[in-house]
Chain A
Amino acid sequence: MSKKIAGPEIERLVQLLARLPGLGPRSARKAALALIKRRQDLLLPLADAIKTAVEKIVECPQCGNVDTVSPCTICRDERRDPSLIVVVEEVGDLWALERAQVVNARYHVLGGHLSPLDGIGPDKLNIGSLVGRAHSDDVKEVLLALNATVEGQSTAHYITGELARANVIVSRLAQGVPIGGELDYLDEGTLAAAIKSRRQV
């Protein structure tokens, strides 16, 4: 039986940190030690930040994004193109697109994808409000920026069907050779998609 080396409060801190992505028990212990050593300038501000986040973070009622204001900062931003809605599976995907600064549009976060294995049907995704938004006069195009997986694309096709009555263009991300990709190293699924999506130059 292993001996306990710290009090229950510290053990709990380590256990909770170990649940975070990228941290195992060993690295959680290191992180906990670093926090304890830098109690004033790191542990207390972090505790404050987490407490504030818990109190203030809300899901945007319009797009499903998370923010501390409602509607979220992106939905409030009047400089964004209101005619284009970019649909993503998760908030992480929205952040990825924002990081890349490739689109200046509004978003819609579905909260996942259709998954029969996990019992996630259309009713468990944020699709109804997307259809409502798509019927607004301002919206001209809905871009389905969903993962290039069987589940992601099945979800995209389902949404396309749901948007059939809305007067909008429904588009999706291109699929094919990534920047810096060498054909020799690409899987055949990507190659097949690239050949199908070929265009005249």
Chain B
Amino acid sequence: MQWSDEGVVLSVRPSGETAAVVELFTRSHGRHLGLVHGGRSRKLRPVLQLGNHVDAAWKARLSEQLGFITVELRRGYAGSIMSDGDALSGLTSLTTLTRLLPERDPHPSLYEITLFVLSFLDDASVWPALMVRWEMALLEELGFGLDLTSCASTGSTENLIYVSPKSGRAVSAEAGEPYRDRLLRLPPFLAKGRQAPVTAEDIRDGFVLTGHFLESRVLAPRNETLPEARGRLAATLGRAA
């Protein structure tokens, strides 16, 4: 059994003295693990940093085995954001949350979005909004996508500014007014057809929105919580709002 693919490094665990068990998010083979010989060597350590984009080749005698992976760097994202604490938290959160995907199950569209987010991690004016969109896409891939196209109550497609925390559907300003304290805010950049500059408050609202559904629908049934890095990120961005 063998394949060649491209992927993003999600985690690296030491195995023995020189090898590492590496987890990749690949384009065609989904989240996949394998043993990398010399994965802890000076040569491969810079390559096997979280978030780096690599070419990978996997080989095993049987498909259910862990197998061996060889990697070659395509593009290193980690090195360019080492001095940016928020971007590092974003990257850590992204790689940790990607591990929610089932193993060896391809998610090519999420993979594309992941690469897109990673390529903007050095631009602080862009990546926080992209990260919120990425979390929306993750929810979609996990089967818990939000329906933000029309109001859950009236069917209207205008003035959608809330999201129901129960149904995950958008709610218009008029229909949501009596329940505004119980509804989640829908930031304009996530609403279809609404063009507006993204503010820090929008980002915070976006993270609250995706965080709520990630916690209640994905993590709570698994007895897990949101990554600490994401909490730090949301707190920092919240302070900026």
Contact = CB atoms under 8 A, between A and B. Distances in A.
Interface of A: 21-22, 114, 116-117, 121-122, 148-151, 153-154, 157-158, 160-161, 175, 187-193, 196
B240 to A, nearest CB: 13
A188 to B, nearest CB: 5
Interface stretch (B70-78, B147-155, B188-196): B70-78
B91 interface: yes
21 contacts: A116-B229, A117-B13, A121-B228, A122-B228, A150-B50, A150-B78, A150-B92, A151-B50, A151-B92, A153-B88, A154-B89, A157-B88, A158-B85, A187-B79, A189-B76, A189-B82, A190-B46, A190-B79, A192-B79, A192-B80, A196-B83
Contacts of B80: 189, 192-193, 196
Interface of A, helix, strand, loop or mixed by DSSP: helix
A175 B82 contact: yes
A188 B79 CA distance: 7
Contacts of B52: 189
Contacts of B46: 187, 189-190
B47 A154 contact: no
A166 to B, nearest CB: 17
Interface in B60-117: 73, 75-76, 78-80, 82-83, 85, 88-89, 91-92, 96
Contacts of B38: none
A126 B88 CA distance: 21
A122 B91 CA distance: 18
A187 B13 CA distance: 21
Nearest to B230: A116
B51 interface: yes
B76 A154 contact: no
A43 to B, nearest CB: 25
A192 B89 CA distance: 19
A187 B47 contact: yes
A188 B49 contact: no
Interface string B8-20: 0001010001000
A187 B73 contact: yes
B227 interface: yes
B231 to A, nearest CB: 10
Nearest to A148: B82
Contacts of A22: 17
Contacts of A121: 228
B232 interface: yes
B17 A153 contact: no
A160 B228 contact: no
Contacts of B13: 117
A154 B79 contact: no
Nearest to A147: B45
B215 to A, nearest CB: 15
Given A21-B17, A150-B51, A114 B79 contact: no
- Residue of A160, A161, A193 most packed against chain B (CB within 10 A): A193
A90 to B, nearest CB: 13
A116 B228 contact: yes
CB-CB nearest 4 A-B residue pairs: A189-B79, A157-B85, A189-B76, A187-B46
